[in-house]
A and B are shown apart, each in its own frame.
Chain A
Amino acid sequence: MGAQESAIFLAADLVFSGDYQLYSIVALSLKVSLLATGIATCLGLPLAALLAIARFPGWDIVATFLNAMLGLPPVVVGLFVYLSLSRAGPLGMLGLLFTPTAMVIAQTILITPIVAAIALRSLEDFNSEYAEQLRAMGLTGWERAQTLLWEARFSLATAVLAGFGRAVAEVGAVMIVGGNIANVTRVMTTAIALETSKGDLALALALGVILILLALVVNLIASAAREIGRKAAGEAPARGEA
């Protein structure tokens, strides 16, 4: 049909011509997903660190719950946030529905478990290696958690990037809570859905190509930063990485 070929050219054309309000849509996508990733990191990493060092009754249930949340459908999260932020809902008076803030909230709920669950896996590796040393140093639980996070910081980037990847690629939740309003809450994924529904498959695919490139660039920057950091720390490549 030629839609695939023309999509590549169209993608290049969109990027270089500055057409289609592309830049503002890309900027909003990045803004929303990076903010959600930042918040999810602040919540997810400490949670993972505490789970890595603590053993308490019900630990298995918490860990299983966290892993199950990896499969949380974005539409369900979107619906939940919509019902909470709707004027008819408990947080309606805040007037946050159909704003970028609502999209950040939905994505944060979606990816915090992802960041935490993936971080937990690498932190457990570190913990089994360092647990005795840390205990010997007489650190409190919270100090041990912090130390663990610091030591594992380079492997934790994987968890954070996985969260960002999910956030920026997600469409179901931001469509419902953002409303795909032009110039206000339209991001890459909802723009792709819109163009698909207009039957403009080449343009939809072109936007998809740009989204992939965007994810690639973010990942490249992150891995470059990680390498620089690692060299500065004078460390051999950390363990527990794929």
Chain B
Amino acid sequence: MVTKIKAFSLGLVALLAISLSHSLPSQADERFITVASTTSTQNSGLFEFMLPVFTKETGIEVRVVAVGTGQAIKLARNGDADVLFVHHKPSEEAFVADGFGIKRFDVMYNDFVIVGPSEDPAGIKGSADVITALKKIADSKTPFASRGDDSGTDKREKSLWKLANIEAGGEWYRETGSGMGATLNTAHGMGAYALTDRATWLAYKNKDGFDVLFEGDKNLFNQYGIIAVSPEKFPHVKIDDAQAFVDWVISKEGQAVIADYKLNGTQLFFPNAPVQGS
């Protein structure tokens, strides 16, 4: 009996060892870089469109971890990514200034919009600027769903409230503490307004009875930047491949691929990397 169970457990362990060694991809034989990025670039489908082009050309696989900008920067600061591709310029500049990144490049832009129930309960449609729109929401105490997750969109929203001199809080102001899509789902469920980047909104599918109610203010400009993580800070960073990716994204060709990406005929991101001298 005891020998039986010995044989049985030996078999189990052997089986485990074999499957472990065979089934999990090993690190050494694959050429890849890890990019910490935002949910908007992933959820909009941009990466799915653009990364295969780069991989085909260079043989470098790009693994994207899509989280909020705040979390992406923390990942990169821990050395868990080779490239940072996010949208909050002040934090990106601080990242480089603190020695974690080599150099920051503008990549592309689009804009933020305020979405909400089509009936527009606070009447923000046609407001002169985004500050007026936010004041109308706050004054009428209409529900507003905030990310509350320290993402790029969240940072922007907080700075807009500050600009409007409004202490956002109280029963109408609801922090979801989650990603853009989840926050849109929540806003949709409670009939609340929300600030979102246009790309996520256009790709988002659960928008019956919801519309863009305010857009087109210079304060809603949404710039994306890319930074290779510094190998001086983290010797394990795959700097050659990371730099190859950064160079490609801001190259004429990479920029053209970004401009080519359309969803239902609408261009989602507008390339604006500085022209490369070569």
- By a beta-carbon cutoff of 8 Å, the part of chain A in contact with chain B is 1, 31, 34-35, 38-39, 41-42, 86-89, 92-93, 95, 97-101, 104, 143, 146-147, 149-150, 179-182, 184, 194, 196-201
Contact B236 A199 (CB under 8 A): no
Contact A197 B23 (CB under 8 A): no
- Show 19 A/B contacts (Cβ-Cβ < 8 Å), sorted by A: A31-B19, A31-B24, A35-B19, A39-B16, A42-B13, A88-B79, A98-B34, A99-B24, A99-B27, A100-B23, A101-B24, A104-B24, A150-B2, A179-B34, A180-B66, A182-B48, A194-B43, A197-B180, A199-B181
Contact A199 B34 (CB under 8 A): no
**For chains A and B in complex, what number of residue pairs have CB atoms within 8 angstroms?**
104
Cα A38 to Cα B11 in complex, Å, equals 11
Contact A199 B16 (CB under 8 A): no
Q: Inside 8 A of A31's CB, which chain B residues have their CB?
A: 19, 23-24
Contact A180 B4 (CB under 8 A): no
- The distance from the CB of B26 to the nearest CB of chain A, in whole angstroms, is 9
In the complex with contacts A31-B23, A196-B185, A146-B203 CB distance below 8 A: no
Contact B24 A199 (CB under 8 A): no
Q: Inside 8 A of B234's CB, which chain A residues have their CB?
A: 87
Counting from the closest, the 3 A-B pairs by CB-CB distance are: A197-B181, A87-B79, A199-B206
Q: Inside 8 A of A182's CB, which chain B residues have their CB?
A: 48, 64
Mark each residue of chain B from 172 to 190: 1 if its CB lies under 8 Å from any CB of chain A, else 0. 0000000111101100100
Query: CB of B131 within 8 A of chain A?
Result: no
- The distance from the CB of A185 to the nearest CB of chain B, in whole angstroms, is 8
In the complex with contacts A35-B16, A41-B12, A198-B205, A95-B182 CB distance below 8 A: no
Query: CB of B80 within 8 A of chain A?
Result: yes
Cα A194 to Cα B79 in complex, Å, equals 25
Contact A97 B80 (CB under 8 A): yes
Contact B12 A198 (CB under 8 A): no
Q: Given contacts A147-B5, A197-B185, A199-B188, list 16 more A-B pairs with CB under 8 A.
A: A31-B19, A39-B16, A86-B80, A87-B236, A95-B27, A98-B65, A99-B24, A147-B1, A179-B34, A181-B65, A196-B181, A196-B185, A197-B182, A198-B204, A199-B184, A200-B205
Query: CB of B141 within 8 A of chain A?
Result: no
Cα A196 to Cα B15 in complex, Å, equals 36
* Residue of A with least CB distance to B237: A87
Contact A181 B23 (CB under 8 A): no
Q: Inside 8 A of A150's CB, which chain B residues have their CB?
A: 1-2, 4-5, 8
Cα A31 to Cα B203 in complex, Å, equals 31
Q: Inside 8 A of B203's CB, which chain A residues have their CB?
A: 198
How many interface residues does chain B have, given as a range?
35 or more
Contact B78 A179 (CB under 8 A): no
Contact B79 A92 (CB under 8 A): yes
- The distance from the CB of B39 to the nearest CB of chain A, in whole angstroms, is 7
Mark each residue of chain B from 1 to 43: 1 if its CB lies under 8 Å from any CB of chain A, else 0. 1101110110011011001100111010000001000010001
Mark each residue of chain B from 31 to 71: 1 if its CB lies under 8 Å from any CB of chain A, else 0. 00010000100010000100000000000000111100000
| A42, A146, A147, most chain B CB atoms within 10 A | A146
In the complex with contacts A35-B16, A199-B185, A95-B204 CB distance below 8 A: no
Contact A201 B206 (CB under 8 A): yes
- The distance from the CB of B157 to the nearest CB of chain A, in whole angstroms, is 18
Cα A35 to Cα B12 in complex, Å, equals 11
* Residue of B with least CB distance to A86: B78
Q: Inside 8 A of B205's CB, which chain A residues have their CB?
A: 198-201
- The distance from the CB of B67 to the nearest CB of chain A, in whole angstroms, is 8
Query: CB of B252 within 8 A of chain A?
Result: no
Contact B13 A87 (CB under 8 A): no
Q: Inside 8 A of A198's CB, which chain B residues have their CB?
A: 43, 181, 203-205
* Residue of A with least CB distance to B71: A176
Cα A201 to Cα B182 in complex, Å, equals 11
Residues facing A in B126-179 (CB within 8 A) are 179
In the complex with contacts A104-B24, A199-B181, A38-B15 CB distance below 8 A: yes
Cα A38 to Cα B24 in complex, Å, equals 15
Cα A35 to Cα B188 in complex, Å, equals 39
Q: Inside 8 A of B34's CB, which chain A residues have their CB?
A: 98, 179
Q: Inside 8 A of B9's CB, which chain A residues have their CB?
A: 42
Q: Inside 8 A of B207's CB, which chain A residues have their CB?
A: 199
Contact B25 A100 (CB under 8 A): yes
